[in-house]
Structure 1
Amino acid sequence: MSSHVKLFIEYFIGDSKETETESIWALPVKKGYKLDNIPFYVKGVSIGDVVSAEEVDGYLYMKELLETSGHSTIRLWFSSEQDVQSTRDTLKSMGCSSEVSDQPRLVSVDIPPAVSYQEIRAYLDEGEAQGKWDYEEACLGFL
Structure 2
Amino acid sequence: MTSEDKHEKVLFIVQVGDSTDHEIESIWTKPTERGYLIDNIPFYATGVAYGDTVSIIENDGQKYANEIIEVSGHSTLRIWFNDETYVSVTRNELQQLGCSSEISDQPKLVAVDVPPDVDYQKVQAYLDIGFKSGRWDYEEACLGF
TM-score (norm 1): 0.98
Structure 2: runs of 5 or more not aligned: none
Residue 131 of structure 1: CA displacement?
0.4
Q: CA deviation at 1:54?
A: 1.4
Question: How big is the alpha-carbon RMSD for the aligned residues of Structure 1 and Structure 2?
Answer: 0.5
Fraction of identical pairs, as percent: 56
Matches within 5 A, 1:54-93: 54-93=57-96
Q: Secondary structure at the match of 2:113?
A: strand
Q: Which runs of 4+ in 1 moved over 2 A?
A: none
How many residue pairs get aligned? The number is 142
Q: Give the TM-score taking structure 2 as reference length.
A: 0.97
In the alignment, does 2:97 pair up with 1:94?
A: yes
* Structure 1 segment 1-143 matched on structure 2, within 5 A: 1-2=2-3, 3-142=6-145
Q: Which structure 1 segments of 5+ residues have no match?
A: none
Once the 2 structures are TM-superposed, how far is the Cα of residue 55 of structure 1 from its aligned partner? Answer: 1.1
Shift of 1:11: 1.3
Q: Which string of whole-angstrom CA distances, capped at 9 and with x for unpartnered residues, describes residues 20-58 of structure 1?
A: 110000000111100000000000000100000011111
